[in-house]
């Protein structure tokens, strides 16, 4: 639909940004924090830096929150480090970890910024991994429930928006790369047992939040990548639908409807997969009624009929050099391909702002739940210029177009209550260290040199501040999205 007016945002719309503890905090060996499995995983990503320093938010949080306030933030989505709060098997709460998060939460609230907290963002404590065998053993359910209750009991008086598990779907789809598959003998089949255990942990978090947090709301955080069919060839359409199911819809349906859909059950039957669903499991999941969906949406993909002569499970670009992305191909299911109608980042991620509107429309049509954007962003190579600044026009264009398409989705009738792109400061990328920067604020450090970790506002910081303070009315001088929309591009 074409609209005569620019999009408008609700007056209480959350504007902010996002981060994750292991990618931003650093201080991995300080004040009682014990190692997490993602610490070890980050050490395998050489030549990129590990997460021992990252953006050093642990020591700079007051400065960072002051910058958020200056930018005009009304929300900040971040995660808690399980191993900073509960560093050992004895389950004793680390007072220094508790103090840090209390200080951060209080600093945010004093600045008029609403905290939105992710309970789990890839950083299982190593002691939990050793005791329970990671996600492979159901004993982790009790440990996760205890951790969640510690969080709700200590922070729930001030924090009312909670997220359960970040991108559970991506942890299964990219399990080898993220280290989730460690200890599995047959990942193709074992991942569905792990996924079921994670679903039970998600359910425990939802139930505990509603039990312990007065006025608390909680939702999942799927990584959403809409899949367009490459052509109108029927086989490409079915392949795109298969890709949607096997990379995201299976998870979304479970969160909302609290049961496994028929596609999932038939897929398990066809491939002789036993997800180890035990008596009482589905009754537990049935109790976990979510309040909203948090959406991580950076890009779209293109699906096509697979080549059945070879198999390539996941697609990654590990170098940051355009053209090195290896597209996945799953015989009998789907393949992904380059979309020639949009540009790509240095990591070959499609730059497609329309995918944000598409995703929100799709999710609203299927689930009719409020949504908040918890990740979307432009990753690029950057360093301070001779003038001591970062002129990140590509990021401004990306954020403008994506925010505009959120506005269009709201005009379409979708209920969206916030935009928290990735990320506020530069921080450690999941697989590309400090080389892949997303921040509105430049952090002066590199993979090779910690430098002085000073903060420098990028041009995108100034642009985003104007958009926030106008509540989505000041789009800047280059209103490409509106012009393209008017042309019905």
Distance CA 114, CA 117 (A): 10
Cα–Cα distance, 404 to 83 (Å, whole number): 38
99 in active site: no
Q: Is the Cα torsion angle 239, 245, 247, 248 positive or negative in sign?
A: positive
pLDDT of residue 50: 81
* Residue found by looking up tokens 């899949």 in the block: 227
Residue 91 has which token pair?
Answer: 């389950």
Give the global pTM: 0.94
Q: What percent of the chain has pLDDT over 70?
A: 97
Mean pLDDT for 333-346 is 94
* pLDDT band at 64; cut points 50, 70, 90: very high
- Output the average pLDDT for the chain: 93
Alpha-carbon distances, residue 127 vs 33, 47, 88, 143 (angstroms):
12, 27, 6, 11
State residue 479's pLDDT score: 60
CA 56 to chain centre: 20
Q: How confident is the model at residue 145 (pLDDT cuts 50, 70, 90)?
A: very high
pLDDT at 250: 96
Cβ count within 10 A of residue 465 = 18
- Cα–Cα distance for residue pair 439/395, rounded to 1 Å: 9
State the DSSP H helix or E strand holding residue 334, giving kind and residue range, or none if neither: strand 334-337
Q: Please report which confidence band the pLDDT of residue 319 belongs to, taking 50, 70 and 90 as the band edges.
A: confident
The pLDDT, as a whole number, for residue 73 is 98
Which alpha helices (H) appear in 261-320, and where do they start and end?
A: 262-270, 281-286
Lookup: tokens for 312: 């390539």
375 is catalytic: yes
Residue 485 has pLDDT above 60, yes or no: no
On the question of pLDDT at 489 being above 50, the answer is: no
Whether the CB-CB separation of 39 and 439 falls below 8 Å is answered with: no
Q: What pLDDT, in 10s, does the model give residues 90-111?
A: 999 999 999 999 999 999 999 9
Spot the catalytic one: 25, 107, 143, 167: 167
Dist. CA 460–CA 462, nearest whole Å: 5
> pLDDT confidence of 163, banded at 50, 70, 90?
very high
Residue 480's pLDDT band (cuts 50, 70, 90): low
What local confidence, expressed as pLDDT, does residue 66 receive?
A: 98
* Residue 387 reports pLDDT greater than 90: no
Q: Return d(Cα 257, Cα 279) in angstroms, integer.
A: 19
* CA-to-CA separations, 125 to 28, 148, 169, 180, in angstroms, rounded: 12, 14, 20, 13
Cβ(86)–Cβ(147) under 8 Å? yes
Residue 22 has pLDDT above 90, yes or no: yes
* The pLDDT of residue 484: 59
Write out pLDDT tens, residues 288-318: 999 999 999 999 999 999 999 988 877 788 8
| 236: Cβ contacts below 8 Å, ≥ 6 apart | 229, 230, 303, 304, 305
Q: 169, 178 in Cβ contact below 8 A?
A: no
Rounded-to-integer distance, Cα 329 and Cα 336, Å: 7
Q: Which residue from 175, 213, 179, 209 is spatially nearest to 191, judged by alpha carbons?
A: 175
Specify which residues 115 forms β-bridges with.
76
In this prediction, residue 376 has a pLDDT band, given cuts at 50, 70 and 90, of very high
Model confidence at 235, in pLDDT bands (50, 70, 90)?
Answer: very high
Catalytic residue among 107, 143, 375, 401: 375
Beta pairing class for 217-221 and 161-166 = parallel
Report the alpha-carbon distance of residue 204 to residue 150 in Å, rounded. 13
Does residue 249 carry a pLDDT above 80? yes
Residue 477, pLDDT score: 67
Read off the tokens for 150: 């510690």
Radius of gyration of the chain from Cα atoms? 21
Sequence-distant (≥ 6) Cβ neighbours of residue 120 within 8 angstroms = 79, 82, 144, 164, 165, 166, 201
Query: Would the pLDDT of 170 be above 60?
Result: yes
Please, how many CA atoms are within 13 Å of residue 38, restricted to the half-sphere of its CB?
A: 26
Tokens of 343: 């540009």
Higher pLDDT, 358 or 448: 358
């Amino acid at each position: 639909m074409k609209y005569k007016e620019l999009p408008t945002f609700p007056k209480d719309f959350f504007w902010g940004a996002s981060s994750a503890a292991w990618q931003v905090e650093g201080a991995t060996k300080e004040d009682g924090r014990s190692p997490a499995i993602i610490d070890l995983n980050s050490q395998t990503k050489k030549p990129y830096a590990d997460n021992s320093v990252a953006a050093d938010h642990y020591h700079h949080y007051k400065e960072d929150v002051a910058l958020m306030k200056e930018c005009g933030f009304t929300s900040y989505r971040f995660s808690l480090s399980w191993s900073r709060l509960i560093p050992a098997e004895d389950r004793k709460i680390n007072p220094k970890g508790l103090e840090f998060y209390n200080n951060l939460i209080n600093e945010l609230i004093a600045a008029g910024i609403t905290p939105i907290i992710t309970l789990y963002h890839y950083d299982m404590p190593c002691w939990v991994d050793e005791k329970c065998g990671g996600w492979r053993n159901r004993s982790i359910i009790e440990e996760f429930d205890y951790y969640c209750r510690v969080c709700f009991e200590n922070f729930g008086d001030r924090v009312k928006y909670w997220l359960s598990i970040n991108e559970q779907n991506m942890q299964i789809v990219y399990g080898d790369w993220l280290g989730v598959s460690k200890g599995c003998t047959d990942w193709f089949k074992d991942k569905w047992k792990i996924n079921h255990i994670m679903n039970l942990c998600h359910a425990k978090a939802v139930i505990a939040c509603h039990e312990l947090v007065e006025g608390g709301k909680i939702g999942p955080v799927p990584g959403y990548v809409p899949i367009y069919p490459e052509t109108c060839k029927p086989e490409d359409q079915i392949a795109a639908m298969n890709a949607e199911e096997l990379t995201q819809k299976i998870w979304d349906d479970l969160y909302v409807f609290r049961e496994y859909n028929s596609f999932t059950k038939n897929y398990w039957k066809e491939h002789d997969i036993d997800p180890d669903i035990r008596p009482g499991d589905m009754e537990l999941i049935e109790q976990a009624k979510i309040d909203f969906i948090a959406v991580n949406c950076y890009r779209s993909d293109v699906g096509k009929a697979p080549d059945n002569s070879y198999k390539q499970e996941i697609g990654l670009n590990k170098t940051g050099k355009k053209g090195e992305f290896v597209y996945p191909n799953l015989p009998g299911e789907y393949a992904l391909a380059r979309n020639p109608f949009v540009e790509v980042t240095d990591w070959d991620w499609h730059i497609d702002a329309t995918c944000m509107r598409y995703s929100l429309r799709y999710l609203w049509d299927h689930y009719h739940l409020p949504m908040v954007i918890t990740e979307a962003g432009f990753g690029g190579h950057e360093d301070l210029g001779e003038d001591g600044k970062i002129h990140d026009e590509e990021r401004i264009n990306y954020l403008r177009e994506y925010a505009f398409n959120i506005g269009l989705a709201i005009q379409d009738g979708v209920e969206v209550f916030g935009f928290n792109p990735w990320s506020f400061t530069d921080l450690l990328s999941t697989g590309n260290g400090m080389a892949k920067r997303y921040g509105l604020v430049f952090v002066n450090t590199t993979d090779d040199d910690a430098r002085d970790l000073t903060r420098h506002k990028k041009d995108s910081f100034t642009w985003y501040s104007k958009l926030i303070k106008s509540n989505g009315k000041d789009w800047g001088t280059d209103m490409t999205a509106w012009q393209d929309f008017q042309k019905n591009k």
